[in-house]
């Protein structure tokens, strides 16, 4: 008996569906198609838009019915979306938690309804074990480590004796913010040349990246040696501010970014960014494979981290292939 039959009418009004009419669809063996409810954080970055696009494409490739909701950067919208997925009795729920805390109640509701939950991109903290099945997303701590390792090599190659760093972080209490900072700080703490002047919240937004950079330049002026920015969007917001203040990004100030979207890679090729640590948004294939396994009652990997690399002025940047996001 297919449980999701009950709520189609109610939900049609409230959901942004890319479901392609699949809720009742059965394949030639008579099994109904898997329905996956996915709550996306929003559209704050090229990364996020690329991630949504990839998930939509892969749902099509795997013939999975996707109910996609955009939370417009609000946790309460994500919680409401998950409740709608539960009411609709989807087979599997997936979401990218905007912050790490505050999910216990809705996850308990999903568990009571017997619907497995996959974390995509970001992690969360819960008061009890077993409320989610697995995580498919980047190793953000390692990204922070790779950013710091690049900086240490760069300082060596320039013969720097003292390095003043400003950090523009992603959304406070989000997994990438917490772990990119921890990986970076743990690594530079072993190098006595490194000094963090200030860390400031840029919320992963281009506009905030610009605001933060204006403030940092006003406050620290030409003492800034390095900008470590937690994503490309904020970096792209910060660069014009650096130029307006008559500094040359990539030369007067070392610029380190994370994501590796096409726009940032183009700027890396121009020499205005020194290093971009890759964070791939292409998580859709692993998500669909995992959802199918869960529906079939098979065991899944608790953590799937994609392979990621570093793009920098240490290499021939003309050889970097088109990024696709």
Q: Which residues bind ligand AHR (CB under 6 A)?
A: 44-45, 47-48, 121-122, 176, 204, 231, 233, 258-259, 279
Nearer Cβ to ligand AHR (20/49): 49
- Distance of closest approach, residue 60 Cβ to ligand AHR, in angstroms: 23
- Distance of closest approach, residue 44 Cβ to ligand AHR, in angstroms: 5
Nearer Cβ to ligand AHR (164/199): 199
- Distance of closest approach, residue 54 Cβ to ligand AHR, in angstroms: 13
- Distance of closest approach, residue 267 Cβ to ligand AHR, in angstroms: 15
Nearer Cβ to ligand AHR (65/209): 209
Token match 């939509």: residue?
A: 56
Q: What is the dihedral of CA 219, 152, 148, 54, to 10 degrees?
A: 110
Name residue 259's beta-bridge partners: 278
Nearer Cβ to ligand AHR (34/68): 68
Nearer Cβ to ligand AHR (4/122): 122
Nearer Cβ to ligand AHR (45/169): 45
Nearer Cβ to ligand AHR (48/154): 48
Half-sphere exposure at residue 111, Cβ-oriented, CA atoms within 13 angstroms:
13
- Distance of closest approach, residue 173 Cβ to ligand AHR, in angstroms: 13
For 242, the token pair is 């650096």
Token match 């690049």: residue?
A: 150
Burial 118-152 (b: 16+ CB within 10 A, else e): bbbbbbbeeeeeebbbbbbbbbbbebbbbbbbbbb
- Distance of closest approach, residue 121 Cβ to ligand AHR, in angstroms: 5
Among 75, 131, 128, CA closest to 98: 75
- Distance of closest approach, residue 258 Cβ to ligand AHR, in angstroms: 6
- Distance of closest approach, residue 80 Cβ to ligand AHR, in angstroms: 21
Nearer Cβ to ligand AHR (163/279): 279
């Amino acid at each position: 008996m297919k449980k999701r039959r009950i709520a189609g009418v109610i939900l049609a009004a409230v959901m942004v569906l890319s479901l392609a009419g699949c809720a009742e669809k059965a394949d030639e063996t008579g099994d109904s198609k898997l329905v996956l409810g996915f709550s996306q954080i929003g559209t704050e970055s090229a990364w996020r838009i690329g991630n949504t696009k990839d998930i939509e494409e892969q749902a099509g490739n795997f013939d999975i019915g996707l109910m996609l909701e955009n939370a417009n950067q609000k946790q309460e919208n994500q919680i409401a979306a998950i409740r709608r997925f539960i009411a609709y009795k989807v087979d599997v729920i997936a979401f990218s938690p905007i912050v790490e805390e505050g999910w216990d109640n809705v996850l308990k509701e999903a568990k009571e309804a017997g619907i497995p939950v996959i974390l995509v991109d970001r992690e969360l903290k819960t008061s009890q074990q077993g409320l989610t099945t697995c995580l498919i997303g980047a190793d953000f701590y390692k990204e922070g480590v790779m950013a710091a390792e690049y900086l240490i090599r760069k300082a060596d190659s320039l013969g720097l004796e003292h390095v003043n760093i400003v950090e523009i972080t992603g959304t406070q209490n989000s997994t990438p913010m917490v772990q990119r900072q921890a990986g970076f700080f743990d690594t530079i703490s072993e190098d006595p040349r490194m000094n963090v002047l200030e860390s400031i919240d840029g919320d992963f937004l281009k506009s905030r990246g610009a605001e933060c950079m204006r403030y940092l330049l006003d406050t620290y002026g030409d003492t800034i040696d390095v900008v470590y920015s937690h994503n490309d969007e904020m970096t792209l917001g910060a660069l014009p501010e650096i130029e307006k203040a008559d500094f040359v990004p990539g030369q007067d100030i070392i610029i380190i970014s994370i994501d590796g979207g096409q726009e940032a890679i183009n700027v890396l090729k121009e020499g205005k960014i020194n290093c971009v640590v890759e964070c791939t948004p292409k998580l859709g294939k692993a998500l669909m494979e995992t959802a199918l396994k869960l529906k079939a009652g098979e065991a899944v990997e608790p953590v799937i981290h994609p392979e990621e690399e570093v793009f920098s002025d240490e290499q021939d940047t003309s050889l970097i292939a088109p990024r696709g996001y």
